[in-house]
Structure 1
Amino acid sequence: MNNSKRKKFTLSISTLLSLTFIGGAQADNISLKFHSGLSQSRPEAEQIDKFASLVSEKSGGELEIEVYHAGALGLKEADMLRILQQGMVDMALLYGEYYTRDAPSLASVYAQGAITESSQHDEILDVIRELYEDGFSNWNIQIVGGVVAPIFDVGLHCKEPVHSLADLQGKKVRVWSRHLVDTFELLDVSAQVIPQNDMYMALQTGVVDCAYYLSTVAPTVSLQEVTKYESYLHPWAASPWLFGISERALSRLNNNQRQALEEAGEEIWNETRATAVDPEREAQARQVREELGIVMLPDFSDDDVETFVGAAWQAWKTMAENAGEDGTRYYNTVTQVISEE
């Protein structure tokens, strides 16, 4: 072979090797579909998008997360555990209380009335996450961080002055879960689950007299237009939103991609955890409601709060026992930690 042919042959081999290398690198690049049922206007959606950007950055572009907000993939929340397990989607924003059909024990991890001081939430958050990780692992789903929801004030928003359990007697109250219906029933108060989108009309038409609601964000649903009085009851026991990935999708990732995914998820978790409890935010939100014309009544008394919490824990325990062995274990674990604080 003469020098000219040898050079051409060497160049051809080099080019082929380069193309093979590039093609191999591209083959290693992976894109994962991420389902979220929350609208893109929610603050959690911003955190999910930030998570996706961090994954891309930390993986050097090897791993991309395609986020589909507002249920754009057409998937139902109640089916999400089965969907992930079957590999129909790679990742999803998970909320334990959605899966009462397939995993009722997950709804027993945390419940309203669990905490009476916002600071308690941070102290038990690691335990709550461990229990969720345990429950989701039964569905071949691993948790890679998530969004720690803010701890908001919860109060009674009523048409007439109400700031005690005695005042609630004879009143009809809107709540958001069966656990709360059972809690108020133990207090001889009539309560019914009414979806947030129907709450305004229910108050306006007299279907209910009061709404048990997250006071901090009450103006976002215009409660000041249909209720005049507010009284603080307790802090919201906010279950975290978790980033879940199917083990099938996780098995496709190389070490660099997996590390990027886990680091990004933990970064979002830690950032949102640091801002979850914010007394200044709550004070400012209360001031806004007063400026909108809401009359701030005295808080429910310590005795009333203790009575409410006792009923909430009783209803929580019953719910947990009905969920089976795991539900009971989750309830016992969380309540024991809270009692020790």
Structure 2
Amino acid sequence: MKIGLLKTLKVTTISLLLSSFAATASAETTLRVGSWLPPNHPQNAEVWPTWSRWVEEATEGRVKVEVEYGLGHPKTMFELVEDGVIDASFSYHGYVPGRFKLTQAVEQPLLGVSAEAASVAHWRVFEKYFAKAQEHDGLEVIGLFTHGPGQIHMAEPIKSLAELEGKKIRLGGGVQGEIGHRLGVTSVGAPAPKVYEMMQQGVIDGVFIPMGEQKSLRLKEVARNVIALPGGMYLGSFAMFMNPDFLADLDEKDRQAILSVSGEKLSAMAGQAWDKADAAGLQAAKDAGVNIVEVSTGDPLAQEFVALTKGMDEAFLKSVADRKVDAEAALAELRQIARSYDK
């Protein structure tokens, strides 16, 4: 009798443990993130893994994050998330001209701050002023960030901005498109991962892009001449976003947990990662013997660029007049937050 009872207790205990394990396993949710940059890029090597850890810790392991690659052009990420093909992603606002106008506030030239500072300001101003314009309708925005200062990367050296006129330059949209227009370059559109191949084949003469890509996209091999303006030419605006239905289907506790590790916290972390990537890219370029002209504030090249940007604020404000938000106040506040940012 005792032996039979013991066997029964053991079987019952094992059954309960297996049931508990099965219930735990079935309760786990996989959050699928789509990415269009290579796995070694800081966005994939640092930003998503860090946020993934935050999400898993905040949800006590109930939500796991997986990153999927090679899902197409970055501009399609917005639609893929809206349609529920993937649960979350990120993209560059400039790839979808017309839809995103207000986000160009953070891209305007001469802000002169780090990507981290700009990203925090970007998020705060979005929440206060821009969210109500619903440019991201159909998406849950979980973070906003910028890359570091966009610089001039060329196959051949130049001594003045005037020499860029007529050159074939890859432009990614947004404010850099307006800068390219003012410089008189021949604009060539393509996603960032295609730049190496285009430079290598001579399809383009150069690209406006941050220093980090000298390493992550291996531009140090094909863009052997860099003009680094003080504060760069512009910043690039990105969003990280989720499918609202995916969030709505989660338990309220897990939904709030995910949002608690997103927003400003995620924006600041992403900006910081891109800042570090710029530092690594600069060092990699120097190690590879790339000709880097680091322009000082008083240099004629810098003054040439400042003159070039006159009137861009006014043009931006005019372009967003239909958004029915106080863009002028938002632009002023964004600059104040970014320039006084102290982490």
TM-score, length of structure 2 as denominator length:
0.70
Quick one: which amino acid aligns to residue 43 of structure 2?
E
Cα deviation digits, residues 296-334 of structure 1 (max 9, x gap): 26445453232232254455456545xx426xx485354
- What corresponds to 1:105 in structure 2? 101
Equivalents in 2 of 1:77, 1:132: separation in Å? 23
- What corresponds to 1:124 in structure 2? 121
Aligned pair 1:142/2:140, yes or no? Answer: yes
Displacement of 1:41 = 1.6
- What corresponds to 2:269 in structure 1? 271
- Any conservation in 2 of the 1:290–1:296 contact (CA below 8 Å)? no
Displacement of 1:44 = 0.7
Cα deviation digits, residues 169-216 of structure 1 (max 9, x gap): x452514135434434335x23312435356655874x6555433245
- Aligned partner of 2:188 among 176, 193, 196: 193
- Any conservation in 1 of the 2:81–2:139 contact (CA below 8 Å)? yes
- What corresponds to 2:60 in structure 1? 60
Equivalents in 2 of 1:80, 1:256: separation in Å? 27
Equivalents in 2 of 1:154, 1:315: separation in Å? 22
- What corresponds to 2:4 in structure 1? none
Quick one: which amino acid aligns to residue 183 of structure 1?
I
Identity fraction in percent? 12
Aligned pair 1:337/2:336, yes or no? Answer: no
- What corresponds to 1:247 in structure 2? 244
- Aligned partner of 1:238 among 226, 230, 236: 236
Equivalents in 1 of 2:120, 2:58: separation in Å? 30
Secondary structure, aligned partner of 2:90: strand
Secondary structure, aligned partner of 2:107: coil
CA change 1:23–1:136 in 2 (3 A) is farther
CA change 1:304–1:15 in 2 (3 A) is same
Secondary structure, aligned partner of 2:237: coil
CA change 1:307–1:65 in 2 (3 A) is same
Equivalents in 2 of 1:64, 1:134: separation in Å? 31
Quick one: which amino acid aligns to residue 186 of structure 1?
R
CA change 1:338–1:137 in 2 (3 A) is closer
- Any conservation in 2 of the 1:55–1:264 contact (CA below 8 Å)? yes
Match runs of 1:155-234 below 5 Å: 155=152, 157=154, 159-163=156-160, 165-168=161-164, 170-178=165-173, 179-187=175-183, 189-195=184-190, 196=192, 197-198=194-195, 201=198, 205=202, 210-218=206-214, 220-223=217-220, 225=222, 227-228=224-225, 230-232=227-229, 234=231
Quick one: which amino acid aligns to residue 236 of structure 2?
A
Displacement of 1:116 = 3.5
Equivalents in 2 of 1:54, 1:331: separation in Å? 33
- Any conservation in 2 of the 1:108–1:320 contact (CA below 8 Å)? no
* Runs of 5+ consecutive residues of structure 2 not aligned to the other structure: 1-8
| RMSD (Å) for aligned C-alpha atoms | 4.6
- Any conservation in 2 of the 1:51–1:264 contact (CA below 8 Å)? yes
- What corresponds to 2:40 in structure 1? 41
Aligned pair 1:29/2:24, yes or no? Answer: no
Equivalents in 1 of 2:182, 2:66: separation in Å? 46
* Runs of 5+ consecutive residues of structure 1 not aligned to the other structure: 1-9
- What corresponds to 2:286 in structure 1? 289
Displacement of 1:253 = 1.5
TM-score, length of structure 1 as denominator length:
0.70
CA change 1:91–1:225 in 2 (3 A) is closer
- What corresponds to 1:3 in structure 2? none
Quick one: which amino acid aligns to residue 242 of structure 2?
I
Secondary structure, aligned partner of 1:113: coil
Equivalents in 2 of 1:337, 1:228: separation in Å? 36
Q: Pick the structure with greater CA Rg.
A: 1
Equivalents in 1 of 2:230, 2:330: separation in Å? 21
Secondary structure, aligned partner of 1:310: coil
